[in-house]
A = this chain, B = another copy of it.
Amino acid sequence: MAEIVSLQEAIASLLRNGDTVALEGFTHLIPMSAGHEIIRQKFKELTVVRLTPDLISDQLIGAGCVSKLVFSWGGNPGVGSLHRFRDAIEHGWPGPLEIDEHSHAGLTNRYVAGASGLPFAVMRGYRGTGLDEVSSTVAPIICPFTGEELRAVAAINPDLTVIHAQRADHKGNVQLWGITGVQKEAVLAGRKSLVTVEEIVEKLDPRPGDVILPSWLVSAVALSPGGSRPSYAAGYYQRDNDFYIAWDEISRDRDTFLSWMKDNVL
């Protein structure tokens, strides 16, 4: 059953240097406050897994927490480049960044395999692309019935998966709605999981389109109102598109970035 703890305690007790940590949230419900807590606690040598590394990944990379990134699209959505991500790959600042790069479909299926207790998943994809050659977690597989060649992607089972959700109850049952992305699979693939929530309520009244994660599938729940900003939490607050645009300037220069982090995160 999920324990309800503070965000600080949760990160301190669930994460270790060198761990593989997935932070999921597809545009919506991005676990920003948990990412900031990881930065504040100065974790090192993390492998970060995230379909769409955006601002939180840029901050984790720029802060020097990340030695490897497993991802499928690293940009500032609708804005452009992710400058700290680029600086790390192009110039090795603040340190070298190893990458394992996939398509969304491929990384999604790696989570699906992980959530399903299987060592791999099968898909159409990769064939003919450069991704087929650069990733060691993609391999050919032949259908035993038709002989057709497809691709297998290796399961991913992060040491810790972190997501943000709208609500939990006092037993640690979690409820999220709106665009729920790959969060269920990411939590189920994780050996441990942390859910930050906007609110802890007496009773989770059902909502159309909601996903419920029963308490027995979650390791810890931490209250973190606004924990997704500048991303959004449907029913609570909207996406701060202006901040995404502003991030382009803030993150472009190393010093401006460091000074912003000092003022706003550390």
Q: Give A contacts to B, CB under 8 Å.
A: 117-124, 137, 139-141, 143-146, 148, 150, 152, 154, 206-210
Q: A122-B121, A122-B122, A208-B207 are in contact. Are A139 and B150 (CB under 8 A)?
A: no
Q: Chain B: which residue is nearest A116 at the CB level? A: B123
Copies of this protein in the assembly total: 2
- Among A143, A146, A148, A209, the one with the most B-chain Cβ atoms within 10 Å of its Cβ is A143
Chain B residue nearest to A207 (CB atoms) is B208
Please name the residue on chain B nearest to A120 by beta carbon.
Answer: B143
The distance in angstroms between the C-alpha atoms of A123 and B208, with both chains bound, is 31
Q: Which of B144, B154, B207 contacts A152 (CB 8 A)?
A: B144
- Return A240 CB to nearest CB of chain B, in Å: 27
Question: At the interface, is chain A mostly helix, strand, loop or mixed?
Answer: loop
Establish whether residues A118 and B206, one from each chain, have CB atoms under 8 Å apart when the complex forms: no
CB distance from A50 to the nearest CB of B (A): 21
Subset of 16 A-B contacts with CB under 8 Å = A117-B124, A118-B122, A118-B150, A119-B148, A120-B144, A120-B146, A140-B144, A141-B141, A141-B144, A143-B152, A144-B152, A145-B152, A207-B208, A208-B208, A208-B210, A209-B210
Q: How far is the CA of A137 from the CA of B146 in the complex (A)?
A: 11
Closest 6 CB pairs of A and B: A206-B208, A139-B144, A119-B143, A119-B146, A145-B154, A144-B152
Residues of B within 8 A of A117 (CB): 124
